Amino acid sequence: MTASGNPDVLRVLVVGDTGVGKTLLLRRLHQVAFPGEDVFASTWGPTTGFHVEVVRNTHQQGSAFSSRGQVAAPCVAFIELGGNRNFGPSSQFPIGLMSFDGVIFVYDEQNANSAIGLSYWYEDLKSYGIVGNNGGAKVMLLEAALSPLVLNPSHATNNLPDELLGAYLQRNVSEFSLWTRLVQKVRGSVVRWVGTSRLRVRDFQQHQDSFRVWFVVVFYYWAAKLENMLLFLVAVILFGPYQHAVRLRRPSVAESLIMISSDVCGTQTVLSCPLFDQLAFEASALEKLMLFVDS
């Protein structure tokens, strides 16, 4: 990857829906570049507007970025956009006035809507000449794993690192009442039942041997189409027939991912990127991210 604007800085855009792990990805990269800093000492909420994480590969000789010596520019600026896809005049980020060397599309492996949403991100960036036939940015498709796979979904939150909980999900250590404990017990039973058929993005891309999973996938597909149709009708009533807020046809998960993976500049893919653990992230995903920056 070569710097198109400033030869000293590579600009990599990081996009995706809210809550898919974009900020956590940037903090994992920051921890790699600056191993002496505790970037997870504080919690954070959703990104509003944009967030920039600049990694200097010459800052510390002990970091993974400097030891590899393969990044062309001395600085890599990872620019994360908030998940609202606001590129209009009211946007806080002048995306139409900037050039980018790469784009990382992030989706949650446990959230099919986040994968479908990437098709809208891709089309918006294509309209600005960043990706596609008129764009020269390299493309990466990253599937984020925000929690380890567990047999009992009711205990999944106990395995999450503190930084994933966020300031708005801090635990209440006070003693719960009998009624509260009863409600939590019922809720835990429901979570365990639903968790046995919890869908992953890959469930929409391959043939299912399990009738239960197949039924849930089909039900989700038609329910999503009905929901999108209702939203489209409401948008037409409110904003007129030429509105662009909601599209009549909702793409499938497979269509959305194929759209990005077939980019003319080529697409690198990272599956199940373990953002829930720093060591697992460095062991399985860091090398691919470094190769993407160096491509």
For 61-80, write each residue's pLDDT tens digit: 445 555 544 555 678 889 99
Does the pLDDT value for residue 271 go beyond 70? yes
Residue 12: pLDDT band with limits 50, 70, 90? very high
Report pLDDT for 152. Answer: 43
Please enumerate in sequence order all residues whose Cβ is within 8 A of that of 216, keeping only pairs 6 or more positions apart, or say none: 197, 199
Average pLDDT over residues 24-53: 79
Domain boundaries, the chain: 9-148+250-294
> Residue 155 has which token pair?
């205990």
- Per-residue pLDDT, 151: 42
Q: How far is 13 from 16, CA to CA, in rounded Å? A: 10
Higher pLDDT, 188 or 150: 188
pLDDT at 146 over 50: yes
At 37, the pLDDT band (50, 70, 90 cuts) reads confident
Which amino acid is present at 130?
Answer: I
**DSSP element (H, E) containing 144:** strand 138-145
State the CATH class of domain 9-148+250-294.
alpha beta
**Of the ranges 170-179, 183-192, 237-246, the best mean pLDDT one:** 237-246
Does the structure show a pLDDT above 80 at 171? no
- Per the CB < 8 A criterion, the answer to whether 260 and 143 are in contact is no
Dihedrals φ, ψ of 274, to 5°? -75, 85
pLDDT at 54: 83
Check pLDDT > 80 for residue 175.
no
pLDDT in tens, 96-131: 778 889 999 999 999 989 999 999 999 989 988 899
Max CA separation in the chain (angstroms) = 63
